[in-house]
Structures are given as C-alpha cells and as structure tokens.
Amino acid sequence: MERIFTKILGIVLILVMVLSMVACGSSTTPDSVSTSTLAAATTTDSTTTPVEQPVTLKIYAQYSDEDTKAPYDYAIAAMKKDMPNVTLELDILAQDDNAKLKTYAATGNLPDVFQSGGDIINTLKASNNILMLDDQAPTADFKSKMQPSAMNTLMNSDGHIWAYPYAGNELVLLYYNKDLFTQFGVKVPTTVDELIQAAKTFNSKNITPLSIFSKEKWVGVSLFDCLATRMEPTGIRKLDTNQGKASDEAFTWAAQKFAELAKAGLFQKGATNTNNDQAESLFLTGKAAMFLNGQWEIATATEKMGDKVDWMAFPGKDAANYEEAKNNFSGGGGPGGYSVSPNSKNKDMAVKVAAYISFKYAECKYTTRGTPIVATKVNAPMVEAFPPMMEKLAKVIPDIKSFGSFDWNLTNAKFKVAIEDATQKLVTGGYTADEFVKDMDKAIVNANAE
C-alpha cells in the first residue's frame, strides 16, 4: 500500500512537471530583460552602412519598479535604433546597499557599465575599479547638456567626473491618501505629535498609518533624515562628514520621535521585511494612509490614485518649527549615475553607452514620468503633462536652500552601514533613542578613526 502511495505520488509529480515544462517551452522569449538588438537591425542596414562589430556589454542597473523599469526599457528601445550593434546583458541591481557591486569589484567581475553613487564611487576609485570620465569622448557634449542646477550630480567633490548622472536633486516626500484622512476625520499633521495621534486613530480603524519598505535600509535612513532636517537643514550629511554628533539636539530629538512613532504603531507589521512592491501596494490600494518614498513615486501614485493622493510638508517639532522648516527636504543629489569599469574589454563603447543611457533616462523621466528633476536638459516632446503633485513641488523647489541626504549619497562607508542598521532597528520599535544615540556616536568615532 505504501509503495502504491509513493508511486502514485511520483506519477502525479511527473505529470505536473511535464505540464510546467510545456508551459516553459511555450514562452519563446523568457528572458525579457536581456535585449538582443542585433538580429533585426543589421540585416537591413548591412548593404548601405559598414557593419560595426557586434558588442555585448554587461550592465548592472535597477530594474524593479515602474520608475526604474520604464527608463531602462525606453533607453534600450532607443539604442536599438541608434546603436544596433550593441547588445546589453542586464544584471539586475540587488537592493543590498551595494554589497554585490563591491563583491564584483573585489573579485574583478565588475560589469562594463554599472549604476554608482555616493560611497561606492570613493570605494571603487581607491581601488581603480571605476573609470575617470573627465577626458572621455562623450563627456564634453554631456557636460554641455547638463542642467546648471544639477551640476553637483556630475562633478565629484574631488573635481573629477566618475559617472554620467541622470537624476537631478531628488527628494523624499511624505505621500498621503486624502480620502482616508477625510473619511476618519484625521487632520493632516503639521507636528510630529499630531502624526502620532493620526497613527493611533488609523490603527484603531485597522488602517496602516504609514507603509514603509524598510527591507531597503535607505528608507529608514530617509525617515530619520526627514526628522533631523526639521532642526538641522543639512540633516545626516552633517554626521556623514563628521561635523556633528548624534547626541546633538537635532539628532537626539529625531531619534526620540522616530522611536515614539514606531512605538505608536506608525508602520505596518513586519516593516523591516517589507519590500517596495509590498509597501507600495498597501498605499495604492488604500490599506495604508501614508507612504514614504522619493518624488519618483508621483507618477505611479497619480496614475493609480488620481486626485486622492497628495504629499504633505513633513510635520515639525511645533507649529513654529513647521513653518520654519517646511522647505527643508531630505534627499538631494550627489555624484552618481552610470559608470564604466576600467577593465572593460570594450571601454570606449561602454563609455558611449553609459553617456547615452543616462541621457535617455533623463529624457524618459522628464517626458513620460512627470518629473522635471533630472540631470540633463531635455528637448523631446512631452508625452505626459506634469501631475498636480509635481506642479506643487515645482513651486517649492526654488525655495529649497539645502538638503539632507539620501543614504546612497553618503560618502563614509562605515558611517553609512552604521546608520542603515541603526535606523532599521528604530523601525522595529524595539530600540530606544538612547541606544541609537550611543551606538551612532560610537560608530561616528569609529568611522573616522585612522
């Protein structure tokens, strides 16, 4: 009887596998992310123009949500026309705070073209794993196309160019669902204490107050930076550059409020293991009242929620502080974009591709994703008008005097890792402000020790 059971089980399993294999076979282009631009284009052109050598380049890029997929696909589609001899093999960027990229560098496996920014540039620079672009062929042209206000994203603090930027000075926004706030009679908070009250109200109605994808550690860092910038306009940048301590008033207050918010149940359950997809869908489907993300979320949020969604200025310490600090934003740009490995076998082509893709990214974001916050000037016609949230933001942008910092623009690798871990712990609610301050002060000393 047992034999029969095992055999039947086996047969069933084989059947299912055969079925699934058939399913596999029927999808002819299963690897949709690697793009072969070769076949179609060269056959027709080969008679008139000299055929360029086909080149395959490896590229390491974000490709996880609409905001990162759309520009990549857009750039690839454009490349098909402009550089038909180039095939890109995409290695999707792991949301692991560059651990994978550093491993690639340490093992000599760097892709030809890769996304870089912040401390990774310094790290790779020190080990000759990133190509200096100052005198590369496309650089002069690229420089001339830069938006003047975004030059900080091109030039590194050492005066050199290591990456072709596409993003401008992006920033963190606190999105909220207007309908949910009206429905439950919650006032849009202007102080952190009101935010705590709002959290309590939403929790009692079984609505997640704020959904956060803290599996990506930068989000926790950004929330902390939002709080810190209430009283210290340069936010965590001050700590990164060793000009301040976590025990300074602005940061201690930020840590205390962060811990209180977590305790009050501001975040959804399991927030530190929630990824972008999951947190975003909580907000978009009306299960969460607020959502923290960069301004790049505007396009998706508007598309899915229409006029139900808006962003608010971050709540302050009190009413006076709210007014005073409402144009302090977390975020900002830094040198970063697409870089090239100096060990690439097709270095020149890789440089050309890096510049080209960055430019196309900006074009795509500007014309189809409703964001004017890009690195280069865009001449292409608009496909989508700017959504209202962006119009509102555009009015504020000229008044922004300084930014805090995105996690990926931090320059001290040890400090960056430490604040990522510490803020992720704050999100869990099982970590006190005192512990945070103590650990961070120790980490800052350690990070700057010689």
Burial 389-416 (b: 16+ CB within 10 A, else e): bbeebeeebeebeebbbbbbbbbbbebb
* Among the listed residues 9, 137, 320, 396, the single contact to another protein using CB under 8 A: 9
* Among the listed residues 143, 308, 347, 414, the single contact to another protein using CB under 8 A: 414
Please calculate the CA angle 159-112-349 and round it to the nearest 5 degrees.
85
Is 54 or 270 the residue whose CB approaches another protein more closely?
A: 270
* Among the listed residues 37, 152, 272, 341, the single contact to another protein using CB under 8 A: 272
* Among the listed residues 141, 277, 348, 434, the single contact to another protein using CB under 8 A: 277
Give the start-end residues of each E strand in 169-240: 172-177, 208-211
Choose the binding region for another protein from 132-140, 185-193, 323-331, 413-421 (rule: CB under 8 A): 413-421
For the bound state, the minimum distance from the C-beta of residue 338 to another protein, rounded and expressed in Å, comes to 17
For the bound state, the minimum distance from the C-beta of residue 30 to another protein, rounded and expressed in Å, comes to 5
Instruction: Count the residues of the shown chain that bind another protein, applying the rule CB under 8 A.
Output: 77
269 binds another protein (CB under 8 A): yes
Alpha-carbon span 87 to 37, nearest angstrom: 6
* Among the listed residues 55, 79, 86, 90, the single contact to another protein using CB under 8 A: 90
Choose the binding region for another protein from 91-99, 154-162, 230-238, 395-403 (rule: CB under 8 A): 91-99
Is 58 or 237 the residue whose CB approaches another protein more closely?
A: 58
Q: Where are the alpha helices (DSSP H) in 27-157?
A: 38-45, 66-82, 99-106, 119-126, 139-144
* Stretch 95-154 residues interacting with another protein (CB under 8 A): 95-100, 102-104, 106-109, 111, 123, 126-129
* Stretch 26-85 residues interacting with another protein (CB under 8 A): 26-27, 30-34, 58, 60, 64
* Among the listed residues 430, 434, 445, 448, the single contact to another protein using CB under 8 A: 430
Alpha-carbon span 251 to 253, nearest angstrom: 5
For the bound state, the minimum distance from the C-beta of residue 16 to another protein, rounded and expressed in Å, comes to 6
For the bound state, the minimum distance from the C-beta of residue 185 to another protein, rounded and expressed in Å, comes to 25
Cα dist from 42 to 30, 167, 436, whole Å? 23, 33, 59
Alpha-carbon span 67 to 374, nearest angstrom: 13
With 0-12 / 13-18 / 19 or more C-beta atoms within 10 angstroms meaning exposed / middle / buried, residue 217 is buried
φ and ψ at residue 449, rounded to 5 degrees: -75, 145
**Looking at the DSSP assignment, which residues form a beta bridge with residue 448?**
none
The closest alpha carbon to 341, from 138, 114, 160, 161, belongs to 114
* Stretch 212-241 residues interacting with another protein (CB under 8 A): 214-215, 217
Copy the structure tokens of residue 325: 């600090």
Choose the binding region for another protein from 89-97, 150-158, 181-189, 361-369 (rule: CB under 8 A): 89-97
State the pairing for strand pair 55-61/86-92.
Answer: parallel
417 binds another protein (CB under 8 A): yes
Is 200 or 414 the residue whose CB approaches another protein more closely?
A: 414
For the bound state, the minimum distance from the C-beta of residue 21 to another protein, rounded and expressed in Å, comes to 8
State the pairing for strand pair 208-211/288-294.
Answer: parallel
Is 220 or 334 the residue whose CB approaches another protein more closely?
A: 220
